[in-house]
Structure 1
Amino acid sequence: MTTRTERFSKLFDELERCREGEQMQKIEEMNGLIDEMNKEDIKTVFTRKLFNKIYKMIEERTLSWGNAILLLKNAGYCKKLKYFYDYEFSTSLLSDRFQKMIIKEEEKKEEKNERLLVDLCECFALLNFYFISDDLRFIIVPCLLKAASKKEGNEETQKEVEMALLALSNIGLRNIFKGDLFLDEIKEIILYNQEHHNLTRLAYQSAWLFLMNRYYSGESLEKVITNKLHFAREARREIEELKRNVDWKRNEEENGRIKVDILRRWLYNIDNYFTSCELWNEELAGLIGSIVQVFLAARGRYQIIRNECVGVLIIAARIGVEHEDILLKSRAVEVILEEIHPSTLNNDMVYHCLRFCFSISERLKEKTDGESTKIKRKELKRKIFEKMEEEGHEDITTSLYGVISFLSENGYDELPKNASEYLTCL
């Protein structure tokens, strides 16, 4: 059978010999193939050579800007959902052409084509994986924020807003915005959706990601994200809804890629948040509990999801072990201890589970001046020990020694070699 990439290449080669209407039909067929592609397919197809070829076709007027945008926007959309990042577009002639077109359209005093400018900004932001100059960012970001601020609830507008927010989320990934720049605009979009639910799930997640990617630029953001926008509450609701909508007995393709991809993107948001947050509350406790439930639901077919869930729990263990026994109340400790037995694990999962245990151990060993904190840590150690006894204290200890030895022999050298380093209470 002809592969997706081969069919795509054949259709692309035929574009130069088609009129614009025929080109659109072929591009729609190509977009259907892109929707079905995995990371390897995308990597094979969207090379610097292909982007340079598109540039040449545009310059020679054998491919219209409209049809090029139709193809490139969908390519960027799929690449972002698949977490596929490369420099192929950023280092191509087409990237330079897009930048010049964006600046040229923005500088027009009259007859500015707003729709074209939005399309150009979305394509460039979705495909680019390189630092964007201030001059260009201060054109692209306001343009996309304006497009994302539409409040109509019809399907066409929702799709337009989704595309603009997805593009914005990619800009924030490698370009830090200082202070409160654009903060009011993205806050308004998030707050309006909380009240009116006008955004798609992907659009809402992307709005949060644009905000979260600038987390490190100011301490005031933490209070806004935690207390005003209630990130933990919103993230919990979204991942629980996605968990209910995924048929965990089916593989990723059978489920429909987008649900699983959006769930992964939310886990990335949560990871970002836990990396820097210091404001702990009951909403965060509930969120960790939901992550544990996703971890359990994904057992069997979705190892990437499980790895990312444990990654989030590891960060939570490093920064929040003494906050109201969150890791115990959420069953995080219990579930990870259940997973340590080698018969239930692959190598990566063993590694992640041990990192979780070691993170708790290291945190509990830290010196603290507060008497109340010391009491909480002592109580937490006691409860972890009780939970270990329920799971089989001696079996776990024996398993740890065997697992650590096995991992050390298979390239996981960064892990401590002594089992007692993983669980302080041993």
Structure 2
Amino acid sequence: MKSSCDNELHCRKKEMPLNEKFSKLFDGLEECDEEEQMQKIREMNEIINEMDEEEFITVFTEELFNKIHQMIKEKTLSWRNAILLLKQAGYRKELKSFFCYSFDDSSLSKRMPGMIIEEERRIEEKNERLLVDLCECYLLLCDKCIPDELLSNIVPCLLKVALNKEENEETQKEVEIALLALSHISKFCEIKQELYLNGITEIIKYHQEHHNLTQLSYQRAWNFLINRFSNDKSLEEVIVNELHFTREARRELEELMRCIDWKRKGERGKEVKEVKIIWRWLDAIYDYFYFCELWNEELVGLISCIVQVFRASRDNYPDISRDCIFTLKSAAEKRNVKIDVLLKEGTIVAFSEEMNQSTLDDDIMWNGLLFFLSISERLKEKEDEETDETKRKELKRRIFEKMEEEEFEDCIESFHKIFDFLNRKYYDGLSLNISDYFVNA
């Protein structure tokens, strides 16, 4: 007689894989009426929620999107039910940062932009709900640059949804999806300020006063704005001094850190939602450091917070600690981040400790090298008129002492052995004398 444990193991072995479950339900849609279809699609959406990236890519192929389009044309699948499925697929894809490009070349992808424009131009009997749904599905699933004409329709439409200030659960979910879709617009897509700036500024300011957005929604509102910053430097004053990006990023990171058990090892694809949001904040902060030229005192707290995230994540969340390293390297390259701030807030110590590890991959080594290269180059010259020669020399001395204290000379020696490889892989123009790239008195 089998034990209960044996029976449980046998059942698990017999359980159908998620992609097969999904495909079986999808194949049966054409045989159902609209209400039965809706029920099956709700089951399929539950399966989508459990999928990892590999399972998702296996299911959502170009052939599947073409089939959905064909079923819509043949009226064996309604747009209402198609959107119910497509929106959940897009939401899951963007929420989990899955890399799935199969939608872009499908016949469905080619059909939806025309529908959005047609619905937007409709004067009588415009279906606002359908328009919003089409815009969200298209942005969440699409990974190519969106044409200007389409953006001029989509952006105001979704900002109108995101500006809804009601705090009930249904509205919060609608706002979250709208902002998630908007934040997926590539930074390489240029959008005229008049289409978005007043709206996104109001969304961010209102949340700062009333805290009406979810953590994910608020981060994605900022992500959308920072993506615009890469093409439009005139946003700098708004981002830095009006909306206080560095203050808000620090506050959100500190709050998210308290929600995570850092001692528990994170499993790829199964991270708690706060880990994904932190990753998105670090991505936005990296871009902020890269494009922003203004100094503000709030940067001090943000640098300190990123170092805290790095220390908390380094044992069990390597992807997060790696992003902290890349972000802090970006900060060191910018003159609006003072070198003495990097020293005081523990950045130099953090890099020293990381690069003294016995096992490092090439990217960490390279970014660590560039970090110290940036510090070294900046210390060779005056950074601003207020920094006199005495202060500059004192700062160099303090940094050198800190690196000696961390026994960093061992790390320098190790670089002598691998730098020829790194030099060929990353940048042929650098000197092979690795010592030139480290601070010395």
Residue of structure 2 equivalent to 1:94: 108
Residue of structure 1 equivalent to 2:10: none
The answer to whether 1:387 aligns with 2:425 is: no
8 Å CA contact 1:319, 1:363 repeated in 2: no
Residue of structure 2 equivalent to 1:333: 348
Residue of structure 2 equivalent to 1:185: 199
Paired with 2:337 and 2:127, the residues of 1 have a C-alpha distance of 56
The answer to whether 1:224 aligns with 2:224 is: no
Shift of 1:393: 4.4
Shift of 1:366: 5.5
Equivalences for residues 58-207 of structure 1 within 5 A = 58-207=72-221
Flag the structure with larger Rg. 2
8 Å CA contact 1:340, 1:399 repeated in 2: no
Shift of 1:417: 3.6
Paired with 2:202 and 2:236, the residues of 1 have a C-alpha distance of 17
Which stretches in structure 2 are left out of the alignment for 5+ residues? 1-12
Equivalences for residues 350-365 of structure 1 within 5 A = 350-365=365-380
8 Å CA contact 1:388, 1:396 repeated in 2: no
The answer to whether 1:304 aligns with 2:319 is: yes
8 Å CA contact 1:125, 1:170 repeated in 2: yes
8 Å CA contact 1:5, 1:41 repeated in 2: yes
Q: Deviations over 1:76-128 (max 9, x none)?
A: 11222233345422221101221122122222222211111111111111111
The answer to whether 1:399 aligns with 2:414 is: yes
Count of aligned pairs: 425
The answer to whether 1:284 aligns with 2:302 is: no
**What TM-score do the two structures reach when normalised by structure 2?**
0.89
Paired with 1:373 and 1:135, the residues of 2 have a C-alpha distance of 53
Q: Deviations over 1:173-230 (max 9, x none)?
A: 3311234542111100000000000001111111111111111343331111000100
Q: Deviations over 1:51-79 (max 9, x none)?
A: 11110111111211111111111111122
Runs of 4+ in 1 over 6 A off after TM superposition: none
Paired with 1:127 and 1:329, the residues of 2 have a C-alpha distance of 44
Paired with 1:52 and 1:155, the residues of 2 have a C-alpha distance of 34
Q: 1:359 to 1:369 in 2, by over 3 A?
A: closer
8 Å CA contact 2:37, 2:81 repeated in 1: yes
8 Å CA contact 1:87, 1:128 repeated in 2: yes
Shift of 1:354: 2.5
Shift of 1:406: 7.3
Letter in 1 for 2:398: K
Q: 1:416 to 1:20 in 2, by over 3 A?
A: farther
Q: 1:194 to 1:252 in 2, by over 3 A?
A: farther
Letter in 2 for 1:77: Y
8 Å CA contact 1:321, 1:327 repeated in 2: no
Q: 1:254 to 1:154 in 2, by over 3 A?
A: same
Shift of 1:312: 0.7
Letter in 2 for 1:278: E
Q: 1:376 to 1:229 in 2, by over 3 A?
A: farther
Letter in 1 for 2:175: V
The answer to whether 1:233 aligns with 2:247 is: yes
8 Å CA contact 1:404, 1:419 repeated in 2: yes
- 2:226 pairs, out of 176, 194, 212, with 212
Q: 1:38 to 1:408 in 2, by over 3 A?
A: farther
8 Å CA contact 1:322, 1:373 repeated in 2: no
Letter in 1 for 2:296: N
Q: Deviations over 1:286-331 (max 9, x none)?
A: 1111111111111122221111111111110001386261111210
Paired with 1:77 and 1:374, the residues of 2 have a C-alpha distance of 55
Letter in 2 for 1:45: V
Higher mean displacement: 106-115 or 147-156:
106-115
- Partner secondary structure for residue 320 of structure 1: coil
Residue of structure 1 equivalent to 2:9: none
Shift of 1:35: 2.1
8 Å CA contact 2:332, 2:339 repeated in 1: no
Shift of 1:405: 6.1
Shift of 1:155: 0.9
Which stretches in structure 1 are left out of the alignment for 5+ residues? none
8 Å CA contact 1:322, 1:377 repeated in 2: no
Letter in 1 for 2:224: F
- Partner secondary structure for residue 112 of structure 2: helix
Residue of structure 1 equivalent to 2:53: 39
8 Å CA contact 2:207, 2:213 repeated in 1: yes
- 1:246 pairs, out of 260, 263, 267, with 260
Q: Deviations over 1:240-282 (max 9, x none)?
A: 1111111221324696542211111111110111011111122
Higher mean displacement: 4-13 or 400-409:
400-409
Q: What RMSD, in angstroms, separates the aligned Cα atoms of the two structures? A: 2.5
